[in-house]
């Protein structure tokens, strides 16, 4: 319970971040996909509408990652990311448990808020709580799609966040990937890549179609990326669990950036 008290601000930030992401997903999906929406009626091309949703969701992700809350909590917003950093030794067990719990609660709160505000426009087809279900290739296509996008996302995060010059841009790259995933991968799996996000839609919709793959596959894809990264660069190359660390917000993780800063400060003080 001591950890809960100390790190409650970060847990609440994670909940708020995924909640806001789900609000954005719900509102923009209604805007572009609800048949009664003037925007939907004005844009007949489904691919163009999906691209515009992708732009909106990518922009939302970037805004959350670079927000004061995202800078402090690390902007995981995803149990698969938290579990990957936990297995790599960057997140303590209690923090990982509470991060995942609050991510699920935050996502569910966001979906519930949109349902309360928009009613049938959100809860009925074609929007249907923005639930993630397999697309035109069935569950096998969804497994492949979720595995690939999770692997690429985590590999990008590790390569950029641990690179001195690229670290400040990790959030931008993440947002661009979200845009591409919504545009090109969503027809395969609905673009889950996030067990908390899929849970937040599945529970109120009571639609558990292939739910197991949205829980199991993203962590597998991200764990594979982490294992490959560590085999290339070594375990110590992974500095922190934050997506954006070039800020002055507190860090609750096992952070090598802090150690390096202390070493640099010591070197400057000892330098004749």
Counts of helices then strands in the chain (DSSP H, E): 13, 0
The values of phi and psi at residue 219, to 5°, are -60, -35
**Cβ partners under 8 Å of residue 200, min gap 6:** 18, 22, 104, 107, 108, 110, 111
Q: Which secondary structure element, helix H or strand E, spans residue 188, and what is its range?
A: helix 186-189
State percent of the chain over pLDDT 70. Answer: 94
Q: What is the pLDDT of residues 29-86, one digit of tens each?
A: 999 999 999 999 999 999 999 999 999 999 999 999 999 999 999 999 999 999 999 9
Q: Length of the chain, please?
A: 272
Q: What is the pLDDT of residues 150-170, one digit of tens each?
A: 999 999 999 999 998 999 999
Give the CA-trace dihedral at 25, 28, 29, 35, to 10 degrees: 160
Handedness of CA 254, 218, 100, 127 (dihedral sign): positive
> Cα(10)–Cα(102) distance, rounded to whole angstroms?
10
Q: What is the pLDDT of residues 76-118, one digit of tens each?
A: 999 999 999 999 999 999 999 999 999 999 999 999 999 999 9
Please name the fold of domain 2-270. Glycerol uptake facilitator protein (1.20.1080)
Nearest CA among 127, 109, 131 for reference residue 118: 127
pLDDT at 263: 41
Q: Are 10 and 38 in contact (CB under 8 A)?
A: no
- Domain limits of the chain? 2-270
Nearest CA among 224, 188, 203, 201 for reference residue 80: 224
Mean pLDDT of the chain: 94
pLDDT at 166: 94
Q: Are 184 and 228 in contact (CB under 8 A)?
A: no
Q: What is the pLDDT of residues 208-241, one digit of tens each?
A: 999 999 999 999 999 999 999 999 999 889 999 9
Residue 260 has pLDDT above 90, yes or no: no
């Amino acid at each position: 319970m001591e950890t809960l008290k100390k790190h409650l601000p970060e847990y609440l930030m994670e909940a708020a971040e995924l909640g806001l992401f789900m609000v954005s997903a719900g509102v923009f999906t209604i805007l572009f996909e609800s048949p009664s929406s003037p925007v939907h009626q004005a844009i007949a091309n489904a691919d163009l509408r999906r691209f515009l949703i992708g732009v909106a969701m990518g922009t939302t992700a970037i805004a959350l990652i670079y927000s004061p809350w995202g800078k402090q909590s690390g902007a995981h917003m995803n149990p698969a990311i938290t579990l990957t950093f936990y297995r790599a030794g960057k997140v303590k067990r209690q923090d990982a448990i509470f991060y995942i719990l609050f991510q699920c609660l935050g996502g569910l709160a966001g979906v519930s808020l949109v349902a309360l505000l928009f009613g049938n426009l959100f809860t009925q087809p074609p929007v249907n709580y923005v639930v993630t279900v397999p697309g035109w290739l069935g569950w096998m296509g969804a497994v492949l799609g979720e595995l690939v996008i999770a692997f690429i996302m985590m590999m990008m995060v590790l390569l950029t966040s641990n690179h001195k010059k690229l670290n400040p841009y990790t959030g931008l790259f993440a947002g661009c990937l979200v845009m591409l995933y919504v545009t090109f991968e969503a027809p395969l799996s609905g673009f889950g890549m996030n067990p908390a996000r899929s849970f937040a839609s599945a529970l109120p919709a009571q639609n558990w179609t292939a739910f197991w793959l949205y829980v199991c596959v993203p962590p597998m894809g991200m764990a594979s990326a982490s294992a490959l990264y560590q085999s290339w660069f070594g375990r110590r190359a992974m500095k922190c669990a934050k997506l954006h660390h070039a800020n002055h917000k507190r860090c609750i993780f096992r952070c090598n950036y802090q150690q390096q800063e202390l070493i640099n400060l010591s070197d400057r003080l000892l330098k004749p």
